[in-house]
Structure 1
Amino acid sequence: MYRINVGGKVFSCGENMDLLKAAKSQHVKIPYGCANGGCGMCKVKIKEGEYKIGLCSKGVLTDEERQNGYVLACKTYPLSHLVAELIEF
């Protein structure tokens, strides 16, 4: 299990669970709409750590954003401890 810090709120997440599901299961609120990679509401910026990203819409997460550390919490799986910040809409 890895320690995930999103906007100062800390929860645990394993490699086989996405960040959004792990946060919800531990009562940590990350905004979301569809929870399926299509709406972009759960977008966060990873500041520290390693992760992998599942399939999600390029309309809500561009290649440039991906290169700059932005991810969708519903499609991101930790490979280490992570520090991230919430994105304000």
Structure 2
Amino acid sequence: MAYQINIGGEVFSCGENVDLLKAAKSQQVKIPYGCANGGCGMCKVKIKEGEYKIGLCSKGALSDEERQQGYVLACKTYPLSHLIGELVKY
């Protein structure tokens, strides 16, 4: 199943087995990224609504406290429902 993902007003679709960053890139939606492997934190997103699962990533890029507050790395996040979020600005 493909879910509707809205990050900062940019809308794209993403299946459960595809990370948000790959899905966004394949549909010409720009999410900043560096390593695309969970190590740099450049693709950090704050999820406001929806369910998701997070793969392994560096605690330096995404701390346990940030995870509890709804922050994710787009390169390591897989939707389990429609999602609404916003990019984290540095």
Query: In which range does the TM-score fall when normalised by the shorter chain?
Result: over 0.9
CA distance in 1, matches of 2:40, 2:23: 19
Runs of 4+ in 1 over 6 A off after TM superposition: none
Q: Shift of residue 52 of structure 1?
A: 0.0
Q: Percent identity between the aligned chains?
A: 84
CA distance in 2, matches of 1:45, 1:6: 9
CA distance in 1, matches of 2:10, 2:77: 17
Q: Deviations over 1:15-59 (max 9, x none)?
A: 000000000000000000000000000000000000000000001
Q: Once superposed, what is the RMSD of the aligned Cα atoms? A: 0.2
1:58 correspondence with 2:59: yes
Q: Which amino acid aligns with 1:10?
A: V
CA distance in 2, matches of 1:59, 1:22: 24
Q: Tell me the residue number matched to 2:45.
A: 44
Q: Tell me the residue number matched to 2:14.
A: 13
TM-score normalised to structure 1 length: 1.00
TM-score normalised to structure 2 length: 0.98
Q: Aligned residues, how many?
A: 89
Q: Which amino acid aligns with 1:82?
A: L
Mapping of 1:25-44 within 5 angstroms? 25-44=26-45
CA distance in 1, matches of 2:74, 2:85: 10
CA distance in 2, matches of 1:21, 1:2: 14
Q: Which amino acid aligns with 1:55?
A: L
